[in-house]
Copies of this chain bind each other. A is one copy, B any other.
Amino acid sequence: MRYEKGHKATTRRRILDVASRQFRENGIAATGMTGIMAESGLTNGAFYSHFASKDDLIRAALTDALEKQHADLGPDTRDFATLMRSYLSPRHRDNPGGGCPSAALVGEIGHLPPATRAEYTEKLLALASRVEERLPAAGTAEANRRSLAIFALVVGAVQLARAVDDRDLSDRILASGVEAALVLGSPGSED
C-alpha cells in the first residue's frame, strides 16, 4: 500500500480533532468544510472518503468530544469543589475550542438532526451522573435532580462569561457561578 498501516485512521482522527475544535470555537453553522480540510492539511475531496457528509462529521465530532469529557471526569480525579472551580475558570472560558462541548454548542444542538440530538442526550446524562456521584447525597432522586441544575448553572455561566464584552463582569459571572454551585452541591440544600 501507498501509506503505512493505520494511516487512514490517523487522518480521520486529525479531521475529527480539527472539526471538533473549530465547531466549538466558531459554532457549527459558521464552520465550513474548506476550513476544516485546509487545517487538516488536505484538499476538499478527501473528506468524503472519511465521512458521509457534514452532518455525519458533526455527529462524530460531538460524540467524540463528549466521550473525551466523560473519560476526563472519572470519579477519582477531582472532588466537587475542584471540578466546579476548574470548569468555571478563566482558562476554560478563554479556551472554547478545547473546552466543554455543551458550553460551546448547546444552543445549536436543538437544530441538529434527531440522531445527533439523541446521542447528545445520552452523553449528557452520563456527564450529569459524573456530577451526581460527587454530591453528598449521591444516589438519591434529590441528588439526581440537583446534578441537572448544577450542570445547567455551569453551562449557562460559561456561556454568559464568554458573551459579555467586559472582563471584570465576566470574572464576576464565573465567581458567582462557583459560589452558587457550592451552595447547590452542599449537604444542607438538598432537601
Q: Does A134 contact B (CB under 8 A)?
A: no
- Residues of A79-107 whose CB lies within 8 A of B: 96, 102, 104-107
- Min CB distance A22 to B, Å, is 12
The answer to whether B145 and A151 have CB atoms under 8 Å apart is no
A125: chain B residues within 8 A (beta carbon): 169
The answer to whether A160 and B152 have CB atoms under 8 Å apart is yes
Using A166-B121, A183-B189 as known contacts, say yes or no to A160 and B106 having CB atoms under 8 A apart.
yes
A159: chain B residues within 8 A (beta carbon): 106-107, 152, 155-156, 159
- Min CB distance A152 to B, Å, is 4
Q: Does A7 contact B (CB under 8 A)?
A: no
A21: chain B residues within 8 A (beta carbon): none
The answer to whether A121 and B153 have CB atoms under 8 Å apart is no
CA distance A169 to B59 in the complex (A): 21
The answer to whether A149 and B157 have CB atoms under 8 Å apart is yes
A106: chain B residues within 8 A (beta carbon): 107, 156, 159-160, 163
CA distance A149 to B118 in the complex (A): 29
Q: Does A175 contact B (CB under 8 A)?
A: yes
Of A11-19, A24-32, A38-46, A70-78, which binds chain B?
A24-32
- Min CB distance A167 to B, Å, is 11
Can you add 11 more A-B contacts, CB < 8 Å, to A27-B107, A109-B163, A148-B160? Answer: A27-B108, A27-B111, A96-B110, A102-B163, A106-B107, A121-B164, A148-B173, A149-B176, A152-B153, A152-B156, A183-B189
- Min CB distance A146 to B, Å, is 7
Closest chain B residue, CB of each to CB of A173: B148
CA distance A169 to B162 in the complex (A): 27
A110: chain B residues within 8 A (beta carbon): 96, 162-163
